[in-house]
Amino acid sequence: MDNVENQGMTIEDIKAMFDAMADVSLQDHYKKEGDYWKNGVLYCGKCGAPRTYDMKTPEGFVIKHLPIICNCSKREDLRENQLYLDRKRDFYSNTSLPYKHVQFSKNVFEKIGMPELHNVLVRFCENCVMAPDSKRKTYGLYFSGERGSGKTLSLCALADYLLLKNVPVKAMDIKDVLYLDDKSFSRVIYDLCRDYTVLFFDDFINVSLKITEFSVDRLVKIFNMFKNNGTIVVLNCLSGLELMRKQKLFDPLYLCLKRSLNIYEIKMKGKIIDETDQSECLFE
């Protein structure tokens, strides 16, 4: 006490200082556009209801500025959740992707034995998808691994995270753009780049795809156009990039993905227990 007074500060001064710090902190964390402070209480700028209150403990201490959720905030949260569900429904409406109800969470990746993947994908979104175009270090993500290793599950979980963040995304079959006629090719690609930030291609190269020198050159052109227009691609494939590199036919595509897109490969080592009923197994 003596030390405090010797420095020119009383207990009341210290209390006032911490109260002021609390007000500044709350302005950073609780205050929304239009909200205002009055008599030490934060009020909602839309409905005028208080958004904070002070609570007195049985011991006589006062805990200041505890948050309250006003009715208009509740309505806003419900509206945002409905918009997210609408975006998710639209994402799955024209695709055969499974895991329509998967949500991006650590639990998903823990169940397939790859808990570290959660943070990897968050960093990819923050440093690539949601970063300015000039600061992006990669324009793609490539999941590789055997069947049942969690490639499609991880792709769908990543899509859920971006849908929640209101990032424009679309799931496609690579054949939807690979076999376009020359007249509509450029227009369709540019429209996709205009409308979507991320494009998802599940089972990127498969047995139903007729791979020729022409189709490889077309894929190279497609991915370069995506990159040049700021659109990110997320692919998954049974074969890794190193195996692609060993096949002469795929060499131009490998160079495009590695050098032009600087694509980041994730080698899946997870295990989905029952591939015949994956969603039930993972989300019971």
pLDDT tops 90 at residue 6: no
DSSP state letters, 213-231: HHHHHHHHHHHHHHHHTT-
Q: What is the pLDDT of residues 79-98, one digit of tens each?
A: 999 999 999 999 999 888 99
Q: Which of 25-34, 51-60, 63-72, 117-126 has the highest mean pLDDT?
A: 117-126
Res 237: pLDDT: 93
Question: Per-residue confidence at 22, pLDDT binned at 50, 70, 90?
Answer: low
DSSP-assigned beta bridge partners for residue 50: 43
- Gap between the Cα atoms of 76 and 91, Å rounded: 23
Which candidate, 127, 163, 120, 158, places its Cα nearest to that of 267?
Answer: 120
First CA to last CA across the chain, in angstroms?
59
Res 42: pLDDT: 86
Q: What is each CA distance from 176 to 181, 192, 225, 256, 265, in whole angstroms? A: 11, 12, 15, 20, 23
- Gap between the Cα atoms of 81 and 90, Å rounded: 14
Res 17: pLDDT: 60
Which candidate, 66, 71, 72, places its Cα nearest to that of 40?
Answer: 66
More confident: 139 or 58: 139
Q: Output DSSP code: residue 284.
A: -
Q: What is the pLDDT of residues 202-236, one digit of tens each?
A: 988 876 778 899 999 999 999 999 999 999 999 99
**Mean pLDDT confidence for 245-253:** 92
Res 20: pLDDT: 58
More confident: 182 or 105: 105
Whether the model pTM is above 0.85: no
More confident: 42 or 117: 117
Q: Are 218 and 124 in contact (CB under 8 A)?
A: no
Res 5: pLDDT: 44
Q: Are 251 and 245 in contact (CB under 8 A)?
A: yes
More confident: 74 or 274: 74
Count of alpha carbons within 13 Å of 36, Cβ hemisphere only?
A: 7
